[in-house]
Structure 1
Amino acid sequence: MIELARQYGRYGYRRIAALLRDAGWHVNDKRVERLWRREGLKVPSRQPRKGRLWLNDGSCIRLRPEYRNHVWSYDFVHCRTDDGKAFRTLNILDEYSRECLAIKVKRKLNSTDVIDALSDLFILRGVPACIRSDNGPEFVAQAARDWISAVGARTAYIEPGSPWENGYCESFNARFRDELLDGEIFYTLREAQILIEQWKRHYNTKRPHSALGYRPPAPETVVPMDHRPTMH
């Protein structure tokens, strides 16, 4: 438990308990919590709940994902390498499964990069019913809007100044920054790309997700080797 807490410093005892059970330990949350407190480990502070977007007419907009590939969302995150030069990441999520579909890392990202990243995913996974994003210039570029419509997906833009309407991406971005970006020094862009890809793989296949019953969004599947007769 202490080793996992040291390795994943921003995880609380429930997430650590899920990792222990995944590793074969027969422990429940209460026992882990007792040991957690006895060892003086601190539970990360909870994020405040965000409200809904209420319009002037009293109605409330809320597009909820109902199945895999129903709603994807995407957003930018800013960071810097050790030399002070900025880079950006384009994070794309499936809101229903909570799987991170892609993180594109470049010094500069624009609407063309958004189209390139989405087109690769469309080939691999098919076209989602709806794509949610904020109102940044990369997302509202006419070329991107026309392309998304042409391939059969709807665009859903959140209201300006209302990040909670893109809550899935906002939550992911917060975990991404808290668990990786704030704790790493990236000396080169290439190093950032490698470490971010490694974190994405861990997030999808290992990291327990509280909204999924402390299961990872896309756990790895182990295929046993065939039992072949031994040659004498």
Structure 2
Amino acid sequence: MNQPRSSQRYQSEPPDDEPALLKQILDLVRRHPRFGYRRIGRMIQADGWKVNLKRIYRLWRREGLKVPRKQKKKRALGTGANACHLRRAERKNHVWCWDFIFDRTETGTTLKWLSVLDEYTRECLVLKVDRHITSEDVINVLAELFKTHGVPEHIRSDNGSEFVAQAIREWLKQIGVETLYIEPASPWENGYAESFHSRVRDEFMNCEIFENLRSARKQTDSWKEFYNEVRPHSSLGYLTPRQFSQQCISSSRTPSAFQRYTADTQLLS
């Protein structure tokens, strides 16, 4: 043919399912712009696609997709005795953590979220939003959680007024829950709560407009369900927190003091 071999190129043909696969990748990227190719790939595999991460990465690079990197300053880990890197959760319901996060409605009204997280399973047990949350509200939330999930051995928090309130400390002490207060001005010692709140801020609050409190509650419930049951978690081998939790042996317990508290509450109601 008088054609030099160097001028000939093999023209590859994409697999028949590639357009549909690419469409789903782009759809997931639009819905979850902060997810990388690994998490997107795991979600696609969970939907039934027989595809490996190398192929996802090839399409990802071809389409020029990427998650903008955030430059964060590094801080030395604290030396507080109750820091999360020193007193780690060893099983389900061993250590819970809680904290508050704030945002505003479309009209500027302040909203306050209370989150409670199981540090071992990363499952969000509560994500409650209201205009104001008092120490009494916190006790009521914990009481409902203890009825549903059992009583944890420890609960970690910062030194916020709601958490160090005398009523909460005495109530938890009576029930047999040890409070792990981190060092003042050391949020990195409550790292699991801080990490979870960064996900809440990045993937939920920065993407939603809250018209009012009622709307915020509905949106919060929907995102909490998505986080626990759909969103793959890299620290859990890309299982969802609910899937990982179901595989774990729980150390939940129901101390006699909490049983008496429950009985007294039912009598008063």
Same-fold status (TM-score > 0.5): yes
* 2:38 is aligned with 1:14: yes
Corresponding position: 1:189 with 2:213? yes
- Paired-residue identity, %: 52
For the 8 Å contact 1:127–1:153, the answer to whether it is kept is: yes
2:177 maps to which of 150, 153, 175: 153
Question: Contact 2:33/2:67 (CA < 8 Å) preserved in 1?
Answer: no
Cα distance in 2 between the residues matched to 1:40 and 1:82: 34
Match of 1:74 in 2: 98
**Aligned partner letter, 1:106:** D
TM-score for the superposition, normalised by structure 2: 0.77
Match of 1:35 among 52, 59, 71: 59
Q: Deviations over 1:110-159 (max 9, x none)?
A: 21111111110001111100000000111000000001111111000011
Q: CA RMSD in A?
A: 1.8
> Larger Cα Rg: Structure 1 or Structure 2?
2
Q: Which has the higher contact order (CA 8 A, sep 6+)?
A: 2
* 1:199 to 2:223 alignment: yes
2:119 is equivalent to residue 95 of structure 1 = yes
Unaligned 5+ segments in structure 1 are: 221-232
Q: Which amino acid aligns with 2:201?
A: R
Q: Which amino acid aligns with 1:29?
A: L
Given that 2:115 and 2:124 are in contact with CA atoms closer than 8 Å, whether structure 1 keeps it comes out as yes
Q: Which has the higher helix share?
A: 2
Please tell me whether residue 215 in structure 1 is matched to residue 269 in structure 2: no
- 2:20 is matched with which residue? none
Partner of 1:86: 110
Query: Is 1:65 aligned to 2:89, yes or no?
Result: yes
Residue ranges of structure 2 left out of the alignment (5+ in a row):
1-24, 245-269
Q: When the two structures are aligned, how many residues end up with a matched partner? A: 217
Give the structure-1-normalised TM-score: 0.89
Question: Is the 8 Å Cα contact of residues 111 and 139 (structure 1) preserved in structure 2?
Answer: yes
Letter in 1 for 2:169: R
User: Aligned partner of 2:160: which letter?
Assistant: G
